[in-house]
Amino acid sequence: MLTNSSADVFNADALLYGGVMLFLILVVHATYMFLVTRQYEVITDALIESKRYVWVQLVFYVMAFLLALSHLLEIYIWGSALSIFGLIKDEHQAMVFAGSAYTTVGFGTNPLPPSWDLIMVMIALSGMISFGWSISVLLNMTQIIHTARQKRKESSQLKE
């Protein structure tokens, strides 16, 4: 016979903590995506305007790297929060756990206190949303590369 206390099944503190952290991570991600995307557009618009089409792809690589760094920042935020709030005492273990859950790779053992497993799900959810968002931003950024190639092609045809 299964007997669970409400603390084992539903931990309101874990839900509140996880919800606030998920919201914070998504705000950080949204802000980061906006800043990188806006900067990419400004730089590439200037490069296309000045007919320096080859540089557009290099700028894409740099901005893609910056987008990847956003995920490291978010793992760091999760790990720091787990450590600061005392959910995982060891900072290193908190960071590794946050990174493992965020990337949905999985962590050998669960270092969270009993009935706080929901946090693992919240970390994974933030990672899935953030990775998907980053991929969509990267795909949109590749459209600018395509535009630069088209303009370069048109420009070379006009010279002929």
Q: How confident is the model over 96-100, as a mean pLDDT?
A: 95
Kindly state the tokens that stand for 151: 């303009």
> Who's near 24: CB < 8 A, 6+ residues apart?
77
Q: What 8-state DSSP symbol labels residue 113?
A: P
Which helix (H) or strand (E) segment is 93 a member of? helix 91-102
Q: Note the pLDDT tens digit of each residue in 114-157.
A: 889 899 999 999 999 999 999 999 999 999 988 888 888 887 77
Higher per-residue pLDDT: 6 or 68: 68
pTM of the predicted model as reported, rounded to 2 decimal places = 0.85
- DSSP per residue, 110-157: --SPTT-THHHHHHHHHHHHHHHHHHHHHHHHHHHHHHHHHHHHHHHH
138: its two tokens = 């990267």
pLDDT, residue 148, reads 87
Instruction: For the chain, give every domain's residue range.
Output: 33-152
Residue 5 has pLDDT above 60, yes or no: no
CA-wise closest residue to 33 among 141, 121, 124: 141
CATH topology of domain 33-152: Helix Hairpins (1.10.287)
Q: What is the pLDDT of residue 6?
A: 46
Question: Are the beta carbons of 13 and 112 closer than 8 angstroms?
Answer: no
Owner of token pair 């459209």: 143
What band does 9 get if pLDDT is binned at 50, 70 and 90?
A: low
Per-residue pLDDT of 28-86, as tens digits, reads 999 999 999 999 999 999 999 998 988 999 999 999 999 999 999 999 999 999 999 99
Structure tokens at 52: 């320096």
